[in-house]
Amino acid sequence: MDPIRIAVVGMGKIARDQHLPAIAGNRAFSLAATVSPRDSGIEGVPHLRSLDALLEEGPAIDAVALCTPPQVRYDLAAQALARGIHVFLEKPPGATLAEVHALSAQAERTGASLFASWHSRFAAGVAPARAWLAERRIDSVKVIWREDVRVWHPGQAWIWEPGGLGVFDPGINALSIITHILPRPFFLSEATLEIPENRAAPIAADLHFRDTRGAPIHMDLDWRQTGPQSWDVLVETDAGTLKLAHGGAVLTLPSETVRNEDHEYPGLYARFATLVTGGRSDVDVSPLTLVADAFLRGTRLTTEAFFD
């Protein structure tokens, strides 16, 4: 079977650090082109300044990986789907829930595959954590997701704009994990969002959820962490404590610690290849729904101005 000819649209840090190596390491794909109005691309691969130019001038492609900021992703995805081109959406899948639902419906009409990717679900400890929790009683959950925005998103103004999500850009990774591993649905009870006086998106958030049996879930998000970074999930159960550390890479159970090789983006591309060859889509918006609920129901507090 011929490889899937894929173009990477948006050549920022995530594309270069994660998408390009994952594509290169998967024989189901061949990198047909890159697209960016500012980046010069990579040696030996056709580079175009816009998706319009790629679709008009070639080379021919079967799929696109959209690594742009979410605020501009809908039009690009809709344009590709209209031509029957398969679409891989970097997280979050869009700036609004409605546009992602519209893309999902369009993909169904055209027969192209649409993949709303959640890379943290492919962290090494997540699948075994899900399996272990499936037969446990969940008593409480605590999520601590604290990092330094100056380290991970230096100078990225779009992330502070409406649709950029602010601290929920990393926080949605945690939500993608817990919506996947917890055996019951959960929903927001209350939230406090701290928004710098010179920004439109939060720099920190404190969120309280509960699942359908009443188990409390507390989430602490902060972009002002210096020194060691914290990406941890702790689940108290009737069989002891489960801990996912380092963003899901390390799983600690009452009886053992599981450490495996990182395979987030290789796992995403393996999943995308399976969807394309099987003629299916995977569009789970539950993490984005919870973020939208936080903006809908959360109390907003103004905090001191933030400068890179």
- Please indicate, yes or no, whether residues 69 and 194 belong to a single structural domain of this protein: no
Active site residue 91: yes
- Please indicate, yes or no, whether residues 107 and 151 belong to a single structural domain of this protein: no
Which range marks the domain in which residue 184 is found?
A: 120-261+292-303
Is residue 308 included in any domain, yes or no?
no
Considering the chain, what is the average pLDDT of its residues? Answer: 96
- Please indicate, yes or no, whether residues 254 and 269 belong to a single structural domain of this protein: no
Rg (CA), the chain: 20
Is residue 242 included in any domain, yes or no?
yes
Q: Is 120 exposed, middle or buried (0-12, 13-18, 19+ CB in 10 A)?
A: buried
- Please indicate, yes or no, whether residues 112 and 126 belong to a single structural domain of this protein: no
Query: Tokens in use for 159?
Result: 């992330």
User: Model confidence over 73-85: pLDDT tens digits?
Assistant: 999 999 999 999 9
Q: What is the mean pLDDT of residues 171-179?
A: 98
Q: In what order do the strands lie in the sheet with 240-245?
A: 257-259, 250-252, 240-245, 230-237, 138-146, 216-222, 204-211, 186-196, 299-303
pLDDT band at 1 (very low <50, low <70, confident <90, very high): confident
3 state SS of 54: helix
User: Model confidence over 241-293: pLDDT tens digits?
Assistant: 999 999 999 999 998 887 776 789 999 999 999 999 999 999 999 999 999 99
Task: With a cut of 90, say whether residue 7 has pLDDT above it.
Answer: yes
Is the distance from CB of 178 to CB of 233 less than 8 angstroms? yes
What pairs with residue 88 in β-bridges? 65, 115
Provide the domain count of the chain. Answer: 2
| pLDDT score, position 195 | 98
- Please indicate, yes or no, whether residues 109 and 144 belong to a single structural domain of this protein: no
Task: With a cut of 80, say whether residue 71 has pLDDT above it.
Answer: yes
For residue 150, the domain's CATH number is: 3.30.360.10
- Please indicate, yes or no, whether residues 296 and 245 belong to a single structural domain of this protein: yes
Task: With a cut of 90, say whether residue 96 has pLDDT above it.
Answer: yes
Using CA atoms, how far apart are residues 304 and 84, in angstroms rounded to an integer?
47
- Please indicate, yes or no, whether residues 219 and 77 belong to a single structural domain of this protein: no
